[in-house]
Amino acid sequence: MNILTSKFLTKYTTAPFSQIDENEFVKAIETEISKTKEEIDQIVNNPNRPTFENTIEALEYSGEQLERITKIFFNLNSAETNENIQKMAQEISPKLSEWSNDIILNEGLFQRVKNVNAQKDTLNLSVEQHTLLDKKFKSFSRNGANLPADKKDILREIDKKLSKLSLTFGENVLAETNKFQLHLTDEKDVAGIPNGALEAAKAIAKNQEKEGWIFTLDYPSYIPFMKYADNRELRQQLATAFGSKAFKNDKLDNQVNVLEIAKLRHQRANLLGYETHAHFVLEERMAERPEKVISFLNELLEKAKPAAEREFKQLSNFAKKLDGIEQLQSWDSAYYSEKLKQELFNLDDEKLKPYFKLENVIKGSFTVAEKLFDIRFKQVFDIDVYHEDVKTYEVFDNQNNFVAVFYADFHPRKGKRNGAWMTSYKSQFRKDGAVERPHVSIVCNFTKPTESKPSLLTFNEVTTLFHEFGHALHGMLANTTYPSLSGTSVFWDFVELPSQVMENWCYEADALAIFAKHYETGEVIPMEYIEKIKASATFLEGMATLRQLSFGLLDMSWHGIDPTNITDVKAHETAAFENTRLFPKNPKTAMSTAFSHIFQGGYSSGYYSYKWAEVLDADAFEYFKENDIFSKEIARKFAEHVLSKGGTEHPMTLYKRFRGSEPKPEALLKRAGLLED
């Protein structure tokens, strides 16, 4: 029997990773598609008149096992992939795309949904039921249900192509990341690099039975090199390798994929009656339309650009004074920023890292959540995992009720893509009187322990952990009826609020005192360091904001226009960056060919949402600070009106219920030091 096609007989019905034969995924997904098709046929052929229960709810709960299997498969494809899984993904994705279209373009099903929607004002639905009905109806009407047959066929072809292109894009980026290594054997070449990073690089070399040090494009290896290596030529070499991923006109090149994805998305939007892909996407976002996004980004640009230009001049003058650098280049940025930061604040990651042992930071995030939301985490060893690095926890509330299963996967490896993300293996929902609790995971790429040191995090990694943990809390504290409205199933420009607001506790003395303890002595981080962390929080913030805005504008340049006539990825990107550029152009690098957020992940026409959510998170945390950062009352309101509600209501309605008013940008501008005195 295929373990994937039956109910998982495991603790909390968690994914039975050790029992799964990866070769069974294709067959299992085909089997579950067939079973789900039978469920859909039963809805369509139901002789009774369409009702909310026999149509909308029945559709919502269909394909439960199919969803669980696909979540396991695609999470593995991101966190523990191999050539076999990647090959299967190329086979599975078009099947799922085709199946999705089979549902959306099923005329009998759409007629029943349309029938229920026409009665919605007389059905006495709850707010959540009303939202679900609206979402189901729009999932049909926005995705081709009203198209004539010939155009439905075109839509199917477009969606198949897009699913394969997106996978290929991601595979190329991962292959490029794994392919490059900077192997050094001369001590002069690693001058300036801290011992911890050198030890990690030596371990990589030793694993390959080589002398010296190996640096890779994985963040824990790449970032310390760019920040500390004195050898400018080697910094340039590594930065160029990083910036030219999938931009080398070889078999791993993504330029054609980028152009094809952008053009197919536009073609799809046009087919559905939308001006551009961005118009299609933003209809279901808080921002609502591309003009509002562009206006939002440009307003922030107007505030940030003067500050960024001042900071760039300051950094350029500092590099010239220190080392005679005539023209500051992008590969100098992290290096001289770190040097300037040390001069201004006498603070660097190497001073801070001993206070941020990974295990302590994990416990710290748990304690902060416990103080705010009355939940506790218990590490367990009887839940199956897909790799030995993965830690598992049971989560309970203060009445000892089971809340969630939490997985945490912290270190880089060959089969894991770069970056950090939160995902889930099972959503929270209610069905037949039972409450199904969620299985949530965070995946990061933090420095591994070495022979002499535990995993010690940079401060940026600390905020990353809290960020992803905020997403996880959104999933774990969900309390909705329907799975498609649960947890992080919210408007894309609202989803970053819970994650970004959690980062704020990393800057507060009362929170740092909980977990920032020296890994050897147990000494709590000195108050002077905390004051410096806070003082340096806005260091070069103008440049950082400009960089983030440039990514949002690049995203909109691909998706907010007709891309049909774009033939040169680099030329298009150069034009998009024109108003945000500080460093000289580098003809060897391109951002778009490795911009996985928008060409592989779900952020197309949505990268602006990081900044959008910063306005929300700064305003929300201001509310905590006005009371107390561990205020049970404010935390209760946040959990009740934001975290637990998922996508059951419009996010602005939920936010105003929590805060009492719409968010104001002043809190963000003040925090970022961008307000004029």
Point out the catalytic residue in the list 57, 311, 350, 468: 468
C-alpha span between 357 and 516 (Å, rounded)? 8
Q: Which two tokens stand for residue 634?
A: 């404010």
The residues that bridge with 183 in the sheet, in sequence order, are 214
3-state secondary structure of 531: helix
Contact call for residues 367 and 514 (beta carbons, < 8 A)? yes
Question: In residues, how long is the chain?
Answer: 677
Q: Which two tokens stand for residue 536?
A: 């340096």
Q: 10 Å Cβ neighbour count for 548?
A: 19
Q: What are phi and psi of 438, to 5 degrees?
A: -80, 160
Strand duo 439-443 + 375-380: pairing: unpaired
Q: Which two tokens stand for residue 84?
A: 């076999």
C-alpha span between 644 and 658 (Å, rounded)? 12
Contact call for residues 229 and 190 (beta carbons, < 8 A)? yes
Rg (C-alpha) for the chain, rounded Å, is 25
Contact call for residues 409 and 441 (beta carbons, < 8 A)? yes
Our measurement of the distance from residue 237's CA atom to the centroid of its chain's CA atoms, rounded to an integer in Å, reads: 28
The residues that bridge with 182 in the sheet, in sequence order, are 215
C-alpha span between 644 and 654 (Å, rounded)? 10
C-alpha span between 663 and 677 (Å, rounded)? 21
Helices 651-659 and 609-627, interaxial angle, to 10°?
20
Is 468 labeled as catalytic in the residue annotation? Answer: yes
Q: Which two tokens stand for residue 413?
A: 């490896």
C-alpha span between 385 and 316 (Å, rounded)? 48
List Cα–Cα distances, 334 to 246, 503, 544, 560, in angstroms.
23, 22, 11, 32
Would you report the helix, strand and coil content of the chain in percent, each value rounded to 5?
60, 5, 30
Tokens 């991962």 — which residue? 174
List Cα–Cα distances, 504 to 476, 561, 668, in angstroms.
20, 36, 12
Q: What are phi and psi of 402, to 5 degrees?
A: -65, 130
The residues that bridge with 436 in the sheet, in sequence order, are 429
Contact call for residues 421 and 443 (beta carbons, < 8 A)? yes
- Beta strands, E only, 437-496: 439-443
Question: DSSP alpha helices (H): ranges in 119-273?
Answer: 127-141, 149-179, 195-207, 219-228, 232-243, 255-271
By annotation, the residues acting in catalysis are: 468
